[in-house]
Structure 1
Amino acid sequence: MTEIVRLQPANTMLTHAQIQQFKIDGYLVLPQILNERQRFELRALCQAHLDKRIEPFELEADVQYPGSPTSKDASGGNTIRRLLLAYQRDALFRSYAEAPEIIAAISKILDCDTVLLNPNHHNCVMTKQPQYSSETMWHRDTRYWNFSDKYLINAWFALGDEQLENGAMKILPGSHRWDVRESALDEAQFLRIDHPDNRDRLPTQRLVPLNAGDVLLFSAHCFHAAGKNTTTKPKFSMVYTYHAESTQPIAGTHSASRPEIPLALK
């Protein structure tokens, strides 16, 4: 049985105003959820898995985003971008994915009693390494996901400060409610910055700086992007994806490839 971690419950007891803010903007920051000891322990575990190159993982060279190494043989080509299957790879990662305070906050937003964690999407430690990190363009996580609806929430645990300089997330507020024409997207489903539909959308972007220990909850259907890490220190973030029982992965797709994990309120 996974040991239950205790976070900062006062910061996860959502008010009606916070729930409404999420529904309008598509995101919400929960401040100072992880204490210093928890952050240190998690960062040390992330670094150990990186140093030992414990699989599975994704390389920066695999994604071919702007700024990433052009191949595995290029300079920095072995730089790890994501430690995959975080829930399965270590009990400590699993304990935070199941943290009652996070599950309670998500259940409030989704208005449900049971939250399901989908192990097939995100379920990872995102890293941005100095020098070889890449830029992520404007996208919805749901672009290649297959579910009965779009009501999925990502929980992003900041294990250190996240600012513009080290690639903090940018969000287009309210974009989880947008209808976007296919012509406004490129072949990889990134927003085309030259498309007339997007000229008024992109100036609405907000940088979402996070302090170490903050948790960002955001709709997986919200357009977001991130820059490179231009500092000398790595950035680590844990990311998990959740939904209510009314949202179902479509059989036969990657979204349904591993059984989902039900997390009832405790």
Structure 2
Amino acid sequence: MENRINIQFFFLPKLLLPFLPTLTFPTNSKEFLPSTFWKQLRHQKSNSLITMASKLQETYKQQGFLTDLPVLDEVELRAARNAFAELEKEFGEDYTQYSLHNVHLQYPWVMGLTKHPKLMEVIKTILGPHVILLDSRFICKYPALRPANIQENEGETKPEKKTGQSGLPYVAWHQDMRYWGITGGPVVSVWLALDDSLKENGALRVIPGSHCSGMFPHRQATQSGNMLSVNQEIPDELVQVDEAVLCPLLAGSMSIHDGFLVHASDPNTSQRRRCGFVIRYVPTCAYPIQDPDRPRKFPAAKLISGTDQFNHFSDKST
């Protein structure tokens, strides 16, 4: 009986491996020649990648998001976490919670994250080859129930309530497109996890398929603690919360979602930080909505893949 070698494409995200065939080659015959092997590999790899891309696109089109996509290996993750720790030391947690905005312009290691090959492989599958990096921001939910937030009551230590407690940082139900004001093409938002993102520390929640319903009405949030820049929220009665899906991530992996997808995240009620790098990409055909009441400029925009024949953004040097 022949010994055979099984080969799969382990460099691709684990989510995609079920879509790929396994190639088998005999190890004790003349069939296993380099030229024959690579011809078969190129043929099957090409077909598999086409199938993979098609399934990715279809899932994203229907659901509005993809999750659990590995990006950083252990070495890359450790380097990113160490570099971020230096920013925490320099600026302090009050600042790094939400104010590290567009620092890809300042730090090469941050720009490197935005261009990571595994990340860009998925982005280009969704948006095509010509892509602009629109904006980036680190978002950290530090533990809400740290010792400073523990209240003493008649000698008994009691933590603040996990939910519904005024002031605990959370992200209200919203759509990114309400804030960004982009038209002519989709906005894709990435959450690249530097820490494990789980239910206990406020992982992303999404409403699958909600991106197909257009723009929802937004209002000013009625509960304090909303981390969104303009304090927006979709009224609870308009959100089908019973259909919400939690998107837990291990550190080094990412989720992506459409700019119209309704999403939110709860307070971090664990003792662990939840830090992620949010990156937003658009195809080069996209452009800002002209609104005199709220002009939108994107000075940090960079052409990150392909070429730009439209010139819709102010600075797109690669």
| TM bucket normalised to smaller | 0.7 to 0.9
Shift of 1:229: 1.5
Mapping for residues 75-224 of structure 1, pairs under 5 Å = 80-110=97-127, 112-119=128-135, 123-131=136-144, 134-149=169-184, 151-180=186-215, 182=217, 185-187=218-220, 189-193=232-236, 195=237, 197-198=238-239, 201-224=240-263
TM-score (norm 1): 0.76
Structure 1 residue matching 2:182: 3-state secondary structure: coil
CA gap 1:181/1:258 in 2 versus in 1, 3 angstroms: closer
Structure 2 residue runs of 5 or longer lacking an equivalent are 1-9, 17-48, 146-167, 221-230, 308-318
Within a 5 Å distance, the mapping from 1:49-88 to structure 2 comes to 49-53=87-91, 59=94, 80-88=97-105
Q: Distance in 2 between matches of 1:82 and 1:10?
A: 33
For structure 1, which runs of at least 5 residues remain unmatched after alignment? 1-7, 60-77
User: 1:150 Cα shift?
Assistant: 5.8
Q: Distance in 1 between matches of 2:67 and 2:174?
A: 20
TM-score (normalised: structure 2): 0.65
Partner deviation per Cα, 1:174-210 (whole Å, 9 max, x = no partner) = 111113553xx323541211x3x44xx2211000011
Paired AA for residue 85 in structure 2:
Q
Give 1:220's aligned amino acid. Answer: G
Q: Displacement of 1:215 after TM fit?
A: 1.2
Aligned residue pair count:
228
Q: Percent identity among equivalent residues?
A: 21
Deviation of the 1:216 alpha carbon: 0.7
| In structure 2, C-alpha distance between the alignment counterparts of 1:30 and 1:164, rounded to whole Å | 14
Q: Conserved in 2, the CA contact under 8 Å of 1:39 and 1:160?
A: no
Letter in 1 for 2:144: Q
Take 2:243 and 2:234, find their aligned partners in 1: how far apart are those partners? 14
Deviation at 1:89, TM superposition (A): 2.8
Match of 1:262 in 2: 303
| Partner residue in 2 for 1:46 | 84
For the Cα contact (< 8 Å) 1:170–1:206, is it kept in 2? Answer: yes
The code of the aligned residue for 1:168 comes to A
Instruction: Give the CA deviation at 1:218.
Output: 0.9
Cα separation, 1, equivalents of 2:117 and 2:287: 22
* RMSD, aligned α-carbons: 2.6
Equivalent-residue separation in structure 2 for 1:179 and 1:81 (angstroms): 28
Measure how far apart 1:149 and its partner are.
4.0
Deviation at 1:146, TM superposition (A): 1.9
Match of 1:173, SS?
coil
Q: Deviation of residue 234 (structure 1)?
A: 1.6
Aligned pair in 2 of structure 1 residues 148, 180: CA closer, same or farther (>3 Å)? closer
Contact 1:153/1:217 (<8 A) preserved: yes
The aligned amino acid for 2:235 is: R
